C-alpha cells in the first residue's frame, strides 16, 4: 500500500497542493468574508484568466461532480470553453451547460439567474480580492483595517460616487459586508447580482495572482454597503430580453449594425436558452439578427 | 486687605552664554497696593521699574520673596494659575502691542473680555465704546493694528487693557506718545478704574499725569542691590 | 480639576541613541502647550509617543477619557486607541499630504472621520463638511475639488477641518505652520487661536518657530538632546529664559 491516496491527486493538482488549498478553503468558510492567504501555484494559463478559480475548482472536484463553466454568464466564450475542456481532460468529469444539473460551477463576473440550491458550489475568479486596495495601497494597512473593522474608508469611496455622479455609480465589484464583520469584494459581478450572494450554495472565491481565498458559506448574511439616504439598488438595463422576453434578468447590450441598431439579450445564455425552449419569445425572436 | 503685595523680592539675571555672568538687578523690594489706590513706580532709567512690573505680571521669574496678587502668589503659582490671574484679576497695558497679524483691531481689543468668558456681543460693544472714546477712527477698527502709527497702537493697547474690568492693573507708560486730548481720556479711564476699586501700579514719565492720578510714589532705586548701589 | 493629559516619565530610545528621556507634563482642559527645540531635540519623537504613533520604552500617557475617566493610553488595545485617535484626538501634520487623502475630494476628506465612527447619512455628512469648510475659510463650492487643486495654506486648513469635525478635545500639532508663506501662517495662527478658544481645545504644538508659540501657546517646554531643559509660562520662558540653551535659542532669533 502506498502512502498516497490516489483519489487525492484527482483533478490536476498534486496531493500536497490540494491539501493546502482545501485547508485554506475550510478556514475561509469558517471566517466568512476573510481573505485567507494561500500558496497559489503556477497554472497552465496566464494570470487574469482564472488561475485562482481553477485551483479552487481543482481542489473541490471529485469524480462524481458535474462541472459548468461560465464567463460573463455565457458557457460558450473562449475562457469558459478552455477551462471546461481543461477539466474534461485532466479530471475526466462530466460537464454541462445547465445550471441546475451542475454540482460545481466556475464563474467569471456573473452569478447564474437560476437560483442555486443546497449542495452546489459556485467558484469565482477574482482579479483583486482587496476591496480597499484602490483607496489604500499598503497591504499592511488594509489588513490592519480589516482586523480593526476600520471601514470608514469604504464609505469614502461611496461618498465620492455620490458627490461626483449624484448617485452611487459603482456598477460592479460593489462592496459588501459579510455577517456584520468583514467587508468583501464580491469579484467584478454586476451589482445586479449582489442580492444573489445570499444563497443556498457554497460560494468560494479564488485570486491566483494575489494568492487569496475567501468564501461565503450557505445562507450567510451579505449586505451591500450604502447610505441611509442613498440606499443600495440592484440595477440593470431598462429593457426586456430581445430573445426570451425576460424582464428580470441581467442583460448584455449588443450593437448589431453601423446604424445604431442594438439589441438586449440575457447575459446568462443557459437561462435564456431554457426560456426560449419553453416557448418564451422576445422582440426579435425568429428574426435573423446575425 | 491689599490687592497687590510685593514682599522682599530680589532678582538677578544669569547669562549662561556669556561666561555665566550673574547680574543682580533687585533686592529687598517690597510694596503693597490697596483697592482703589494708584501707585507710581519712579526712578531713573535702568532702576528696575519695568523689571518689577514684569515680575508682578509673571513675565519675569521672581528670584526670592513673594508677590501676591488677589490671593495668588505669582512667584510660586503654576503657569495655569498665573494665566487665570491674568484673565480674571490683573490687567496689563504694556508699551508694546503683540498680536496675531491680520486680526482686526476690534477683535484685538475685545479679546481679554472674550477670554474671561464674557458674551461676544457685550465684549464687542465695550470694545467699540473704548475705541470711540480713545478717538481711534472707526474705519481702522476692521484693520489689523500691526500697521498703525505708534500713537494709534498705544491707544489700541489701552483699550485692550480696560475692556475687561479687573480688580488690579499694571500700566506701563500709558500716556506716552499721546496727544493732549487722548492723554486726558486715558487719565479719566485710570480715575474711573480707581473709583470702582481697582488697585493700580503704573510707570509714568509724564509727571503732570502722574500727579493727577497717583496717590503715592515708590522710588525703585531703593531696591537696587548692594553691589550696584 | 483633573488634567486632560498626564505624561509621566516617557522615554524612547532608538537603539542606543536617546529619542526623548523621562519627560513628564500635565495638560489641563483648554490649555495650549508649546514644545520647542532644534531638529533632533526629541520634540517630534515625544509628540509621536504621546499621540500613540510610537510606543515609548517607558512611561505613562494618561488621558482623561469621556467614558471611563483617566486611562493609560499605552495600555489600551489598538482598536481603542484608534477610536480615540479619530474621535477625541486630532493630529495635524506639518505636511498636509501626510494628513489628507489627496485622491479624494475635500468633502470626503472632512467626512471620513464621521463615516469612520458610523455616520451613514450622505446628506448630513455633506452638511457637516460644508459647515467645517466654512469654519476654516474654504468656499463651499470647492467641496468636490481634490486637495491637489488647493494652495498649501488651504490644504493645511482642510487638514484642520478634517481633524476637528468630530469635536476632539485634544489636538497634536507638528509644525502646523511650517512650510507656509508668512502671510498664510498668520491667517492660520489666527484661525487656530479662534478654534482653540471657541471649542475649548487643549493642544500640544511642536515647532521650532518661537513666534508661533508666543502667539499660540499658554505654556512652553524647551527640549534639547532628548531632555526637557526648561518649562513655564510661554512669555516668561521667552522673556526671562533660565537655561543656557533657552537663552541661546531666544537670542538667536533674527529680528525683522
Dist CA B134 CA B105 (whole Å) = 13
By Cβ distance, the residue of B14, B82, B100 closest to C193 is B100
Across the B:C interface, residue pairs with CB atoms under 8 Å apart total: 57
Cβ C242–B60 below 8 Å, yes or no?
Answer: no
Contact criterion met (CB below 8 Å) for A147 and A284: no
Where would I find the beta strands (DSSP E) of C28-162?
Answer: 32-36, 58-65, 69-72, 89-92
Arithmetic mean of pLDDT, A162-168: 93
The side-by-side arrangement of strands in the sheet containing C69-72 is C17-27, C5-14, C58-65, C69-72
C79 to chain A nearest CA, in Å? 6
Mean pLDDT of chain B: 92
- Determine the distance in angstroms separating the CA of A166 from the nearest CA of chain C, rounded to an integer: 11
Specify if C147 maps to a domain.
Answer: no
Identify the CA nearest to C160 among candidates C183, C190, C117: C190
User: Known catalytic residue: A272?
Assistant: yes
C 182-201 → B contacts, CB under 8 A: 183, 186-187, 189-190, 193, 197
Q: Checking DSSP bridges between strand B64-69 and strand A94-95, what pairing results, if any?
A: unpaired
* Residue B211 Cα, gap to closest chain C Cα (Å): 31
Q: Which residue of A has its CA nearest to C77?
A: A148
Residue A288: pLDDT over 60: no
Q: Flag whether C149 is in a domain.
A: no
Using the Cβ of C101 and the Cβ atoms of chain A, whether some distance falls under 8 Å is answered with yes
Residues of A in Cβ contact (< 8 Å) with C105: 160, 163-164
Chain B meets chain C (3+ C-beta pairs below 8 A): yes
In a domain, B159, yes or no: yes
Query: What's the number of CA atoms in the CB half-sphere (13 Å) around residue C254?
Result: 1
Q: Do C112 and A230 touch (CB under 8 A)?
A: no
Q: Which CATH number do you get for residue C70?
A: 3.40.50.300
CA angle at A95 for the pair A93 and A101, rounded to the nearest 5°: 115
Q: Are residues A172 and A86 in contact, defined by beta-carbon separation less than 8 angstroms?
A: no
A62 touches A92 (CB < 8 A): no
Q: How far C187 CA lies from chain B's nearest CA (Å)?
A: 7
Banded pLDDT at A6 (limits 50, 70, 90) = low
Most A-contacting residue of C122, C124, C133 (CB-CB within 10 A), to test interface: C122
Q: What are phi and psi of A33, to 5 degrees?
A: 90, -10
At A131, list the grid cell: 476591496
**Lowest mean per-residue pLDDT among A1-15, A21-35, A100-114, B36-50:** A1-15
CA C175 to chain centre: 8
Residues of A in contact with C144 (CB under 8 A): 163-164
Residue A33 annotated in active site: yes
Is there a contact between C104 and A160 if contact means CB atoms under 8 Å apart? yes
Q: How far apart are CA B166 and CA B160, in angstroms?
A: 12
Q: Which CATH superfamily is domain A15-130+174-224 in?
A: Bacterial phosphonate metabolism protein PhnH (3.40.50.11310)
Q: Any idea what the CATH number is for the domain that residue B173 is in?
A: 3.40.50.300
Q: Which domain holds residue B114?
A: 4-223
Stretch among A29-43, B28-42, B78-92, B110-124 having the lowest mean pLDDT: B110-124
Among A260, A182, A175, CA closest to A215: A182
Catalytic pick among A208, A266, A274, A282: A266
The pLDDT value given to residue B176: 86
Percent of chain C's residues with pLDDT above 70: 99
Between chains, do C28 and B80 touch, taking CB under 8 Å as contact?
yes
Task: Report the interhelical angle of C122-135 vs A152-165 (nearest 10°).
Answer: 90
DSSP assignment letter at C255:
P
DSSP E strand boundaries for C193-226: 202-206, 219-224
Residue B5 gets the label, from left (phi > 0), alpha (psi -120 to 50) or beta, of beta
Longest dimension (CA), chain B: 54
A150 vs C47, C78, C200, CA distance in Å? 24, 11, 28
Instruction: Report the pLDDT averaged over residues B10-21.
Output: 91
**In the predicted model, what is the mean pLDDT of residues A45-72?**
94
Chain C environment of B83 (Cβ under 8 Å): 218, 233
Q: Which of A113, A108, A69 is nearest to A87 (CA)?
A: A69
Q: Which residues of B touch C251 (CB under 8 A)?
A: 17
The answer as to whether B229 is a domain residue is no
Judged by a CB distance cut-off of 8 A, whether residue A164 touches chain C is yes
Q: What is the pLDDT of residue A134?
A: 83
- CA-wise closest residue to C29 among C53, C63, C61, C60: C63
What's the rounded mean pLDDT across residues C109-114? 95
Mean per-residue pLDDT, B91-113: 88
Sign of CA dihedral C98, C101, C102, C103: positive
A266 classed as catalytic? yes
Distances from the Cα of A238 to the Cαs of A165, A247, A251, A252, C94, in angstroms?
A: 19, 9, 9, 11, 51
Q: Confidence band (pLDDT; 50, 70, 90) for B52? A: very high
Residue C182 clears pLDDT 50, i.e. is over it: yes
Cα gap A81→B126, rounded to integer Å: 86
Model pLDDT for residues A208-218, shown as the tens digit of each residue: 999 999 999 99
Task: Name the active-site residue from A53, A73, A206, A244.
Answer: A244
Label residue A51 left, alpha or beta by phi (over 0 means left) and psi (-120 to 50 means alpha).
alpha
pLDDT, residue C237, reads: 96
Identify the band that residue A4 occupies on the pLDDT scale cut at 50, 70 and 90.
low
Domain that holds residue C232: 5-99+169-253
When pLDDT is cut at 50, 70 and 90, the band that residue C129 belongs to is: very high
Q: Give chain B positions within 8 Å (CB) of C219.
A: 79-80
A139/chain C closest Cα distance in angstroms: 17
> If you average pLDDT over each of A215-229, B35-49, C82-96, which comes out highest?
A215-229
- Best residue of B22, B50, B58, B79 to probe chain C, by most C CBs closer than 10 Å: B79
Which residue in chain B is spatially nearest to C185 when comparing CA positions? B101
C189: nearest CB among B61, B79, B100: B100
Whether B228 is covered by a domain: the verdict is: no
Which residues does residue B90 pair with via DSSP β-bridges, in sequence order? B168
As a whole number of angstroms, the distance between CA B93 and CA A102 comes to 90
pLDDT surpasses 90 at B158 = yes
A160 interface with C at CB cutoff 8 Å: yes
Contact C123 A229 (CB under 8 A): yes
Chain B, nearest residue to C3 by Cα: B80
Q: What does chain A look like in DSSP terms, one character per residue?
A: --SS-GGGG-SSS-HHHHHHHHHHHHHHHHSTT--EE--PPP-SS-TTSSHHHHHHHHHH--TT-EEEEEETTBSSSHHHHHHHHHHHHHT--EE-S-GGG-SEEEEES---SSPP-TT-EEEEE-S---TTTTT---HHHHHHHHHTT--HHHHHHHHHHHHHHSS----BS--EEETTTEEE---S-BGGGGGGGS-SSEEEEEETTTTEEEEE-TT--EEE--BTTB-------SS--TTT--SSS-EEEEE-STTS-EEEEES-HHHHHHHHHTT---TTTTS---
Q: Does C243 touch chain B (CB under 8 A)?
A: yes
What ranges do the domains of chain A cover?
15-130+174-224, 236-284
Given A11, A241, A246, A274, which residue is catalytic? A241
Structure confidence at residue A1 (pLDDT) = 44
Per-residue confidence (pLDDT) for residue C255, from 0 to 100: 65
What pairing do the DSSP bridges indicate for beta strands C69-72 and C89-92? unpaired
Strand partners, A178: A182, A222
Three-state DSSP class for residue C51: coil
Q: Quick one: closest CA in C to B104, which residue?
A: C190
Task: Note if A220 is an active site residue.
Answer: no
Cβ within 8 Å, pair C108-A163 = yes
Catalytic one among A53, A73, A272, A274?
A272
Residue A26's pLDDT is what?
Answer: 98
Determine whether A244 is an active site residue: yes
The H or E element spanning position B15 is strand B4-15
Q: DSSP string of B189-203?
A: HHHHHHHTT-EEEEE
Residues of A in contact with C125 (CB under 8 A): 159
pLDDT digits (tens, 9 = 90+) for C42-77: 999 999 999 999 999 999 999 999 999 999 999 999
- ipTM greater than cut 0.85: yes
Q: Are the C-beta atoms of residues A110 and A104 closer than 8 Å to each other?
A: no
Structure-block grid coordinates of residue C153: 495654506
Q: What's the order of all strands across the beta sheet hosting A66-71?
A: A36-37, A212-216, A202-207, A121-125, A104-108, A66-71, A94-95
Domain count, chain C: 1
Each residue of B112-138: b (16+ CB within 10 Å) or e?
Answer: bbbebebeeeebbebbbebbebbebee
**Residue of C193, C236, C242 with shortest CB distance to B59:** C236
pLDDT for B229: 42
User: Is there a domain that residue C105 lies in?
Assistant: no
Amino acid at each position: 500500500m502506498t502512502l498516497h491516496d490516489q483519489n487525492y491527486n484527482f483533478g490536476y493538482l498534486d496531493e500536497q497542493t490540494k491539501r493546502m488549498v482545501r485547508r485554506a478553503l475550510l478556514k475561509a468558510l469558517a471566517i466568512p468574508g476573510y481573505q485567507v492567504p494561500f500558496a497559489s501555484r503556477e497554472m497552465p494559463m496566464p494570470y487574469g484568466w482564472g488561475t485562482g478559480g481553477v485551483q479552487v475548482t481543482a481542489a473541490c472536484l471529485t469524480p462524481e461532480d458535474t462541472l459548468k463553466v461560465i464567463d460573463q454568464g455565457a458557457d460558450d466564450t473562449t475562457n469558459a470553453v478552455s477551462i471546461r475542456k481543461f477539466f474534461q481532460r485532466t479530471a475526466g468529469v462530466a460537464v454541462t451547460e445547465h445550471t441546475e444539473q451542475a454540482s460545481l460551477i466556475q464563474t467569471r463576473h456573473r452569478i447564474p439567474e437560476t437560483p442555486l440550491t443546497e449542495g452546489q458550489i459556485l467558484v469565482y475568479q477574482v482579479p483583486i480580492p482587496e476591496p480597499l486596495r484602490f483607496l489604500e495601497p499598503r497591504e499592511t494597512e488594509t489588513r490592519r483595517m480589516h482586523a480593526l473593522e476600520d471601514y470608514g474608508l469604504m464609505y469614502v469611496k461611496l461618498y465620492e460616487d455620490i458627490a461626483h455622479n449624484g448617485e452611487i455609480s459603482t456598477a460592479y465589484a460593489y462592496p459588501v459586508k459579510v455577517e456584520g464583520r468583514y467587508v468583501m469584494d464580491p469579484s467584478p459581478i454586476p451589482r445586479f447580482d449582489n442580492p444573489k450572494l445570499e444563497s443556498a450554495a457554497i460560494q468560494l472565491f479564488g485570486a491566483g495572482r494575489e494568492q487569496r481565498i475567501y468564501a461565503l458559506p450557505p445562507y450567510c448574511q451579505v449586505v451591500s454597503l450604502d447610505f441611509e439616504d442613498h440606499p443600495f439598488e440592484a440595477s440593470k438595463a431598462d429593457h426586456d430580453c430581445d430573445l426570451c422576453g425576460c424582464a428580470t434578468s441581467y442583460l448584455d447590450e449588443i450593437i448589431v449594425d453601423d446604424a445604431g441598431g442594438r439589441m438586449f439579450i440575457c447575459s446568462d445564455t443557459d437561462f435564456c436558452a431554457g426560456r426560449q425552449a419553453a416557448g418564451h419569445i422576445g422582440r426579435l425572436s425568429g428574426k435573423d439578427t446575425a | 486687605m491689599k490687592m497687590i503685595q510685593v514682599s522682599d523680592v530680589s532678582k538677578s539675571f544669569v547669562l549662561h552664554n556669556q561666561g555665566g555672568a550673574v547680574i543682580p538687578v533687585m533686592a529687598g523690594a517690597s510694596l503693597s497696593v490697596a483697592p482703589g489706590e494708584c501707585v507710581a513706580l519712579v526712578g531713573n532709567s535702568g532702576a528696575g521699574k519695568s523689571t518689577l512690573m514684569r515680575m508682578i505680571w509673571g513675565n519675569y521669574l521672581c528670584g526670592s520673596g513673594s508677590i501676591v496678587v488677589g490671593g495668588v502668589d505669582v512667584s510660586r503659582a503654576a503657569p495655569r494659575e498665573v494665566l487665570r490671574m491674568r484673565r480674571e484679576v490683573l490687567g496689563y497695558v504694556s508699551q508694546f502691542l503683540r498680536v496675531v497679524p491680520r486680526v482686526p483691531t476690534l477683535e484685538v481689543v475685545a479679546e481679554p473680555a472674550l477670554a474671561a468668558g464674557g458674551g461676544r456681543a457685550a465684549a464687542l460693544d465695550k470694545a467699540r465704546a473704548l475705541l470711540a472714546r480713545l478717538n481711534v477712527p472707526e474705519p481702522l477698527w476692521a484693520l489689523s493694528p500691526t500697521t498703525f502709527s505708534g500713537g494709534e497702537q498705544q491707544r489700541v493697547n489701552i483699550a485692550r487693557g480696560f475692556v475687561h474690568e479687573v480688580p488690579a492693573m499694571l500700566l506701563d507708560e500709558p500716556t506716552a506718545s499721546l496727544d493732549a486730548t487722548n492723554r486726558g481720556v486715558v487719565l479719566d479711564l485710570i480715575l474711573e478704574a480707581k473709583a470702582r476699586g481697582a488697585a493700580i501700579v503704573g510707570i509714568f514719565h509724564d509727571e503732570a499725569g502722574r500727579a493727577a492720578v497717583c496717590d503715592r510714589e515708590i522710588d525703585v532705586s531703593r531696591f537696587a542691590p548692594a553691589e550696584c548701589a | 480639576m483633573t488634567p486632560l493629559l498626564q505624561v509621566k516619565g516617557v522615554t524612547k530610545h532608538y537603539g542606543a541613541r536617546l529619542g526623548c528621556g523621562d519627560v513628564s507634563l500635565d495638560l489641563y482642559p483648554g490649555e495650549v502647550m508649546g514644545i520647542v527645540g532644534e531638529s533632533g531635540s526629541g520634540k517630534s519623537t515625544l509628540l509621536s509617543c504621546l499621540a500613540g504613533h510610537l510606543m515609548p520604552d517607558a512611561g505613562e500617557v494618561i488621558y482623561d477619557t469621556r467614558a471611563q475617566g483617566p486611562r493609560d493610553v499605552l495600555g489600551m488595545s489598538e482598536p481603542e486607541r484608534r477610536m480615540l485617535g479619530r474621535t477625541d484626538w486630532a493630529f495635524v501634520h506639518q505636511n498636509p499630504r501626510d494628513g489628507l487623502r489627496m485622491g479624494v475630494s475635500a468633502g470626503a476628506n472632512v467626512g471620513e472621520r464621521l463615516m469612520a465612527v458610523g455616520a451613514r447619512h450622505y446628506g448630513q455628512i455633506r452638511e457637516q463638511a460644508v459647515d467645517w469648510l466654512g469654519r476654516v475659510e474654504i468656499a463651499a463650492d470647492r467641496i468636490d475639488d481634490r486637495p491637489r487643486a488647493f494652495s498649501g495654506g488651504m490644504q493645511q486648513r482642510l487638514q484642520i477641518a478634517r481633524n476637528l469635525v468630530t469635536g476632539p478635545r485634544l489636538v497634536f500639532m507638528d509644525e502646523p505652520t511650517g512650510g507656509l508663506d508668512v502671510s498664510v501662517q498668520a491667517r492660520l495662527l489666527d484661525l487656530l487661536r479662534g478654534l482653540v478658544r471657541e471649542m475649548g481645545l487643549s493642544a500640544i504644538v511642536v515647532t521650532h518657530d518661537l513666534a508661533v508659540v508666543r502667539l499660540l501657546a499658554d505654556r512652553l517646554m524647551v527640549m534639547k538632546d532628548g531632555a526637557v531643559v526648561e518649562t513655564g509660562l510661554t512669555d516668561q520662558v521667552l522673556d526671562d529664559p533660565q537655561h543656557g540653551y533657552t537663552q541661546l535659542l531666544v537670542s538667536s532669533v533674527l529680528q525683522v
